[in-house]
Amino acid sequence: MHSGETEFPGYTILTSETASPLTSAYGWGSIAPSADLAPTAQYQPGTPILFWMVDQYMKHIFARDPGCDTLEFDFDKPGAIGPRLSELSKLDDRDLDMSGFARRGGKLILLQGSDDQMISPKATAAYHDMLRQRLGDKTLERMLRYYEVPGYGHGRSATFLASWDQLSALERWVEQGVDPAEGEVVTDLSGVPGRTRPLCLYPRFPRYGGKGDVNSAGSFTCSQ
């Protein structure tokens, strides 16, 4: 690929036909099919949601052929789809060119759930690391704050549904020069409503200090 990727970093949770369904465990029952059937070329309820999404991309974006069988696609021998994948890869590579944004003093806050079933936290971390390689430590430090929230899913979660006024944090950073750093706190709306955790700059994470309320951010410190 033009962008240089040779592999996908994978997910931190299981959603295949051999793993737990995306229902009660993660609070997705109302919007996502369960994953109790093996992937099939023709979608049916019960097919893993991640295969279902990739299948639609393959058919309608990559191959531009509704009859394309994703299960028959060979990444090592992409055939006629190869040039199209390379073309789209060039567009993807442009997302790493944040130099102009950085030069203009742009500020970016990234928030990622560790239990995200759609966007892999490993992929977001890889994106963060690639930006570091492109821009350098000093530029990235001025521009980006990246946080991972343990237990948080893809906008929904029965474990830890994070609530946080990120727009105000961004406004204070841009307009007043108040760096959010590790001074921000997220509140759980689902698992234990009202429970709080500190936001820690990647790759640091909230670690319980051994004393105090386990549901209070004040009992945690950011550690690596």
User: Residue 156 has what pLDDT?
Assistant: 78
Backbone angles phi, psi at 208, to 5 degrees: -70, 135
- pLDDT tens over the chain, length 224 residues: 556 667 778 777 654 444 444 443 444 443 444 556 677 766 677 766 677 778 888 888 889 998 888 888 888 888 888 888 888 887 776 667 899 999 999 999 999 999 887 888 999 999 999 899 999 999 999 999 999 999 998 887 888 999 999 999 999 999 999 999 999 999 999 999 999 999 999 999 999 999 999 999 999 999 98
How far is the CA of 206 from the CAs of 116, 147, 197, in angstroms? Answer: 18, 11, 7
Q: Which residues of 24-41 are buried (b: 16+ CB within 10 A; e: fewer)?
A: ebbbbeeebbbbeeebee
Q: For the beta carbon of residue 162, count every other beta carbon within 10 angstroms.
A: 23
163 forms beta bridges with 187
Coarse DSSP helix, strand, coil percentages of the chain, rounded to the nearest 5 percent = 35, 15, 55
**Alpha carbon distance 95, 165 (integer Å):** 25
User: Residue 73 has what pLDDT?
Assistant: 87
